[in-house]
Amino acid sequence: MAEDAFDAIIVGAGPAGSTAATVLARAGLDVVLIDRGVSAGSKNLSGGRLYTHALGKVFPDFATEAPLERLITKERISLLTQESASTVEFGSGKLGGKSASYSVLRAPFDQWLADQAEAAGASVITGIRVDDLLLRDGRVAGVVAGEEEMSAKIVLLADGAISLLARRAGLIGEPNPHHYAVGAKEVIQLGEDVVSQRFGLAAGEGCAWVFDGDCTDGHIGGGFLYTNRDTVSLGIVTTIGDLGYSDVRVPEMVERLKRHPVVAPLIAGGTLVEYGGHLALEGGYDAVPQLVHEGALLLGDAAGLGLNTGYTIRGMDLAIESGRIAAETVIAAHGRNDFSAASLAEYADRLKESFVLTDLAFYRRFPKFLEDTRGMFTDYPKLAEDAMLSLFSVDGSKPEPITRSLRTAARPIGFGRLVRDLWRGLGAINGRASVAGALGGAAIRVRGTANRKGGTR
Ligand SMILES: Cc1cc2nc3c(=O)[nH]c(=O)nc-3n(C[C@H](O)[C@H](O)[C@H](O)COP(=O)(O)OP(=O)(O)OC[C@H]3O[C@@H](n4cnc5c(N)ncnc54)[C@H](O)[C@@H]3O)c2cc1C
């Protein structure tokens, strides 16, 4: 058999791919990282909030070295109707330390990550699209880009949501539209002082704000707004499965959010400097495909590792952790010179033990809760508006006891449904304590190997 050109080929220089490339190159493996964008991150898009706990394990000095925008110290969640926003705000200097999260802009952040991989010794190639996987004797043996074939002992697929390469090679099945969402985002330039003043922030501190209700015209999904150093990132995420029933297109949803009376004054006078759209993961734990294959691993979004709980949107920290664990698995397999699925099964086992699959399992019931509880996007924002209006309106008429106001506001929904939805909602975010509990004894999904155990992916 021809000698492999590389120890590892990684497709995709997003957070998953660049992290894996860095860890592999630091261990002295001959690794190439390929991205179709003109530069790493040029095709990537996030709402823009990075939880840094996973990043710090690989890049301990990230806080001073990485291009981070603002440390998030203020959280807001709003239920929107056309005219009102019922908002919960939490501000705290304690939103730092190990649980610190920062707003980031993907183009500079992803470029920084790819630079770390290059500095560690990885070859980084941008502007090349990988068209196919090279399959030999039933295993992944490299990649095909245009006329060129490149072989490697292992290929790490970090090519983002709905990995076309994994699908084309038959490693994963057809995507379910209910497992994916469309995201659209604008970056609006305001100036550093204006951002701080309008959002009530100290220098370097930031606000993360999520919206539910009117902005998606009652469809599953929501809006987000993150303050960057001198810009804000604002956008919408809504499920593809729901879009077919919507008269309002995604760009119009973004406009609705921008026009909302509570948002509009905050972005007034701003200049649009960037916009884009991207797929986001929405399926949670049940959408995670087979992760380990003969000669290949799936990482990050390509592995379905994304989490949307309504109040947090996460993917980058899961991508970074999966990149690190995949790389450490490959280093061990390299030591054994065995890149079979059986040898690589440790990747799935370690993800299961890590926060990645534990968190996904914990929130496993959340996507189904949202699908079954449309009132979250219609009736409940209206209920909140009615309750707030009855609390805060003073017009000279006789005051009502608060309990009666709340009962009146809840009447259109019905008390029984309200309690049921509340109970199910609490259950969905209260999760299950273990991956094993969530799996209920499902069989391991490691392709083409005799090493089949119970209870992992
Ligand atoms: C609107 C929106 C808001 C989000 N908000 C947040 C948030 O606030 N916080 C958070 O943590 N996560 C958020 N996410 C999710 C987050 O963006 C992803 O989870 C994360 O980017 C996954 O990283 P990744 O490295 O797996 O994939 P990606 O970042 O998607 O990187 C994949 C890379 O592969 C490259 N590629 C793809 N195909 C090929 C090919 N054939 N050949 C060569 N290169 C290829 C692409 O160019 C890209 O660079 C959001 C997502 C969206 C869409």
Ligand 1 pocket by Cβ (under 6 Å): 11-17, 34-37, 43-50, 129-130, 158-160, 165, 183, 185, 235, 237, 278, 280, 300-302, 306, 313-317, 319
Instruction: Give residue 436's pLDDT band: very low, low, confident or very high (50, 70, 90).
Output: low
The residue-averaged pLDDT of 284-313 equals: 92
Asked if residue 440 has pLDDT above 60, the reply is: no
pLDDT > 60? residue 130: yes
Q: Above 70 in pLDDT, residue 438?
A: no
Residue 452 CA, ligand 1 centroid: distance in Å: 31
- The rounded Å distance from CA 30 to ligand 1 centre is 24
pLDDT greater at residue 226 or residue 408:
226
Q: Is the dihedral of CA 333, 335, 337, 343 positive or negative?
A: negative
What proportion of the chain, given as a percentage, has pLDDT over 70? 93
CATH 3.30.9.90 intervals, the chain: 179-281
Tens of pLDDT along 321-374? 999 999 999 999 999 999 999 999 999 999 999 999 999 999 988 878 888 888
Distance between Cα 15 and ligand 1 center (Å): 8
Least confident of 159-173, 249-263, 294-308, 414-428: 414-428
230 exposure class (CB count in 10 Å sphere: 0-12, 13-18, 19+)? middle
What residues does CATH 3.50.50.60 cover in the chain?
Answer: 6-66+105-175+283-363
* CATH of segment(s) 6-66+105-175+283-363: 3.50.50.60
Q: Dihedrals φ, ψ of 343, to 5°?
A: -70, -30
* Of 316, 324, 325, best ligand 1 pocket probe by most atoms within 8 Å of the beta carbon: 316
Q: pLDDT grade, residue 32 (50/70/90)? A: very high
pLDDT bracket for residue 443 (50, 70, 90): very low
pLDDT higher than 50, residue 433: no
* Distance, CA of 143 to CA of 3 (rounded, Å): 15
CA angle 33, 36, 41 (to 5 degrees): 80
Q: Take atom 19 of ligand 1 and give the residue whose Cα is closest.
A: 315
Which pLDDT belongs to residue 199? 98
Mutate to test the pocket of ligand 1, among 18, 33, 36 (most ligand atoms within 8 A of CB): 36
Class of domain 179-281: alpha beta
